[in-house]
A = this chain, B = another copy of it.
Amino acid sequence: MAGEVRWLDEEEARAWRSFVDVSTALTAELEHDLLTRHGLALGDYAVLVHLSEAPERRLRMCDLAAQLHLSPSGLTRRLNGLVRDGLVVREPCSSDRRVTYAVLTEEGFRRLADAAPDHVAEVRRRFIDRLDRRQLHELAGALDAVRTPAAAAPRGTAGSAP
């Protein structure tokens, strides 16, 4: 098969390792902050955010799972905790009885509104505010390029240059 391996050169390796490093460290730090100051895991927070932005603050379980990059069972269990704490309720769908809606409660919305300023401040302090405008713009553009395979790369000429 592939006889030669295109290893990462110095800059590529630096970018990749930094990316992994920053994302893991940042996740751990933000999780810790949110958990100790507001009793919310990062996953809980993400659920509340997505629900709060949805029409009527409700989403089908399967749609919510997709938005959160979570498996169906993962979301079920994640929701159990939020339901137990009264931040979210489950509601059956009348038109399709296979479906369950996750609905943000008033208390859930308050908890989110309470936590959000602190969380945003942390995101600023640990990420956004360490970048100037140009860096931020470039970063956003690069990440978009990663998410969107863009136009097909010129396949014939890619592999040869050292």
Contact residues, A28-81 vs B (CB, 8 A): 28, 69
Contact residues, A1-36 vs B (CB, 8 A): 1-2, 5-8, 11-12, 14-16, 18-19, 21-28
Flag whether A130 is at the interface (Cβ < 8 A).
Answer: yes
Residue on B nearest A28 in the bound complex, by CB? B69
CA distance A29 to B48 in the complex (A): 25
Flag whether A141 is at the interface (Cβ < 8 A).
Answer: yes
C-beta contact mask, A141-162 vs B, less than 8 Å → 1, else 0?
1111111011001010010000
Contact residues, A106-162 vs B (CB, 8 A): 116-117, 120-121, 123-131, 135-147, 149-150, 153, 155, 158
- Measured CB to CB, the closest approach of chain B to A49, in angstroms, equals 10
Cβ-defined contact, B18 with A137, below 8 A: no
- The contact of A130 among B5, B136, B150, by CB within 8 Å, is B150
Query: Which chain B residues lie closer than 8 Å to A23 at the CB level?
Result: 19, 23, 27
Query: Which chain B residues lie closer than 8 Å to A123 at the CB level?
Result: 8, 16
CA distance A1 to B24 in the complex (A): 29
CA distance A11 to B153 in the complex (A): 26
Query: Which chain B residues lie closer than 8 Å to A128 at the CB level?
Result: 8, 12, 15-16
Query: Which chain B residues lie closer than 8 Å to A158 at the CB level?
Result: 125, 129
